[in-house]
Structure 1
Amino acid sequence: MSVQLNVIDTDIFNQNSKLITLCFSMEKISIKELIETRVMKEFNIEEEHKLKRADNSFIPTAKELKLNPAPSDPQQDVEIHKDKAITSFLKNEYFIFINDVQKTDIEERILLSPTTRVTFLKLTPLIGG
């Protein structure tokens, strides 16, 4: 059974809120899996935007490539972002609330349903910040 989960991304001032939908093939996941899926979704969105911008951009010269090297392997990049997000969670740089209850154990497993409320309360950006 696949579960679609709406995740609210917000900051401590509740000024920059956005809704993100994540899909899970399991009903029970760990907080770590939630973080990794969340980062992967954001990374994929960012990559799509880059591709759209690239369609309208110019081809860089050799000198420009030397100054601004081509990006590394996207799969490697996403793993770096996942690790950073997990480390940030462990350092309390952002918080996760499931049905208004703060979760602190990264290995804790949570039961998902379409009514599960998930909030990422960011004190620092998960990606790109």
Structure 2
Amino acid sequence: MATVTFVDESTAGARTPAWALRIFEERLTLRELIRRRIHQEVAECNAAASAPRRLLVQRTPTERTLNGEPAERSRRRIDPERQVALAEEAFTRNGFVVLVGDRQVEELDDEVDLRRDTEVTFLKLVPLVGG
């Protein structure tokens, strides 16, 4: 059994506190690892009485406004499968890269080795101004 530690960072220097998830397999595809991470986050968000930690993929305030969503976070249940689809799309558009240990995983269907204390970093790429 592996304990996978998830860390979210951005190229702008932001870093969220790490959190861990136990995974029983020794090898998973990146797609499955992302799916499990999101299902855990969504379960915690849906069960939380107060504002939960940020999900891997979220709409920007501008996107929420354009979609007619309320400015404040509603307490509607979050759909984990929709969040998985958004994360996969963001990954394929280079919205973030994933590092497992010191190795970048380049494809969703690439398998990753999970050891006892594997650190998985989700590095959100921030577009350059003017580029």
CA distance in 2, matches of 1:70, 1:101: 37
TM-score (norm 2): 0.69
> Which residue number in structure 2 is paired with residue 56 of structure 1?
none
Deviations 1:42-85 (A, max 9, x none): 21221122xx24xxxxxxxxxxxxxx89836x5xx110111110
Output the aligned Cα RMSD. Answer: 2.5
Q: SS of the counterpart of 2:46? A: helix
CA distance in 2, matches of 1:106, 1:115: 21
> Which residue number in structure 2 is paired with residue 110 of structure 1?
112
Q: Please state if 1:43 is matched with 2:42.
A: yes
1:108 Cα deviation after fit: 0.8
4+ runs deviating over 3 angstroms: 68-72
> Which residue number in structure 1 is paired with residue 88 of structure 2?
86
Q: Which has the higher helix share?
A: 1
Q: Which has the larger radius of gyration?
A: 1
Structure 1 residues 103 and 47, CA gap change in structure 2 (3 angstroms): same
Q: SS of the counterpart of 2:18? A: strand
1:15 Cα deviation after fit: 2.0
TM-score (norm 1): 0.70
CA distance in 2, matches of 1:7, 1:16: 11
Q: SS of the counterpart of 1:92? A: coil
Question: Percent same amino acid among aligned pairs?
Answer: 22
Structure 1 residues 44 and 123, CA gap change in structure 2 (3 angstroms): farther
